Chains A and B, each alone.
Chain A
Amino acid sequence: MTTSVPDPSQKHQRREHGLMLALVSPALLVILALIVLPVGWLAWQSIYHDGFTLENYRRVFTEDVYWRSFALTFEISLAVTVIALLLGYPVAYLANSVPKGWSILILSLVVLPFWTSVLVRAYAWLALLQRSGVINQFLRYLDVISEPLALVHNTFGTVVATVHILLPFMVLPLYAAMQKIPNDLMQAGASLGASPSLTFFRVFLPLSLPGVLAGCTMVFVLCLGFYITPELLGGGRTVMVSMLVSRNVELYNQFGAASAVAVVLLLGVLVIFFIVSRFISLDRVLGQK
């Protein structure tokens, strides 16, 4: 360092800051150009068309088609979240309570579908659930049914496939939260004479609630914007919000309306994240995958 510089450390620090900003700038630029700008564009387009207008939002909030779709999306997301919690909790609990080798096996089976394309899994569910599909054939072979059941191209098929795709997002945060619960607490409960179910409901379950919240948030939010499963397995009747957006763009060229729907959906997601962040760290929610 030269002595002629008045404050070398300050100059050094400025250079350091400059270098660090230069290092993040390529990635930041990509994010700004390809997600911040496009979403901003949507927001702008939803209120501006040859002058400012709230017409698009009036339609979204008053027209029946939109209202029904928002309600349906909310119901499906809620159902998917509850089912995923009911299915995921026992699996996470088991993985947490067995020896390490077994828990690795269980968790591998949970994340295995993670690495299969969503599209591939949608295809698999079509193959399993359709009228001439594997499950209907099996049930007829067993003489349980005489007519094939309508398992797909409806809300049922959508929910089955969506839960399947989102379940890992539930199990992983649940498992992470359960790992943090000290084992001695359960033993303490037992040594004080509490029955296993009492220690579970009074000690274990409350302590796993942060994981429940993290998992439910992720599943619910991802489900709100789900597109592939309702489109391929919903049979055209299960019009979720994402399909409303795409149809307005692809079929009706209603860019303003599509943008308004997208903005409402995004605001919904952000509000949920904001509320949840008051209770648990968002890293816990986003840290998975």
Chain B
Amino acid sequence: MMRASPARIALYVISALVLIYLILPVLIIAPISFSSARFLTFPPPSFSLRWYQQYFSNPAWMQATRVTLTVALLTVVIATPFGVAAAYAISQSKLRIMRLIHMALLLPLVVPIIITAVGIFFVYAKIGLVATMPGLVLANVMLGLPYVVISVLAGLQSFDPAQEMVARSLGMNRLRSFFAVTLPQIKSSVVAGGIFAFISAMDETIVALFISGGQYQPLTKRMFTALRDEIDPTIAAISTLMTAASFMLVLLASARQKRSG
């Protein structure tokens, strides 16, 4: 319509400013991480990899990285099949209780995370799971489940269950027909759900603050503690790597989703 109206121009300007506000912080971290300066200066005085070196040569950061990657991988391995099975049952079953179960599975998105964190801490303290690997993984499985369920349910929505019935009427059992007919068609949403669960586990901070400790502290907990004390550019290096990892995973997830239409 009227492209050059003042209102339209104002809309462009405001939107551009808001978008800059949104992406500026994401873009600012990489240059800081490659700067040689101890204190944050912008533009950076000279290019340097010293903060990356410091990250990779520090045993504490390396141990935390191992914990984060292990937790995230185990979370995906457990949360994905659990979430797929649940989403399948929710979409296929006519039981009335399924609606309630569906809502229960989305609870981690509804309950403020600080409440979940403190609650898990109290329960873990009773049964001795504080500062353990299984405790950390279980909590992240719970937090990752909604992403898998939402993604797979969306995938199943465009899937015609009659196809599976056909396979079964041709003599396949339930399990085989699921793996042969249903799963290939919802594969991309399963992968996307798994990737979201991975990112959720990799970024999770608040629950880890309460329940992790000793040698089983993930990166985010160490970063949080470090940020409370002083601003160390090593964190910029770690942040850059984490952001790069997240983005690659998201691109992977969306590429998959697009390929299958």
Contacts and interface: CB of A to CB of B under 8 A. Distances in A.
A23 B88 contact: yes
A176 to B, nearest CB: 14
Interface in A182-209: 190, 196-197
Given A30-B141, A119-B203, A225 B114 contact: yes
Main secondary structure on A side of the interface with B: helix
B86 interface: yes
Nearest to B27: A124
A246 B116 CA distance: 12
Which interface residue of B41, B123, B139 has the most chain A CB atoms within 10 A?
B123
Contacts of A259: 118, 122
Nearest to B122: A41
A148 to B, nearest CB: 13
B162 interface: no
B11 interface: yes
| Chain A interface residue bracket vs B | 35 or more
B25 A24 contact: no
8 contacts: A20-B92, A23-B88, A39-B119, A128-B28, A132-B39, A225-B114, A242-B112, A265-B112
B163 interface: no
Interface of A: 16-17, 19-21, 23-24, 26-28, 30-39, 41-42, 45, 87-88, 90-91, 93-94, 106, 109-110, 112-113, 115-128, 130, 132-134, 137-138, 164, 167-168, 190, 196-197, 221-222, 224-225, 227-228, 231-232, 242, 245-246, 249, 255, 258-259, 262, 265-266, 269, 273, 286-287, 289
B185 interface: no
Interface of B: 1-2, 5, 7, 11-12, 14-15, 18-19, 21-26, 28-29, 32, 39-42, 81-83, 85-86, 88-90, 92-93, 95, 98, 101, 104-116, 118-123, 138-139, 141-142, 145, 149-150, 174, 199, 202-203, 205-206, 209-210, 220, 223-224, 227-228, 231, 235-236, 239, 242-243, 246-247, 250
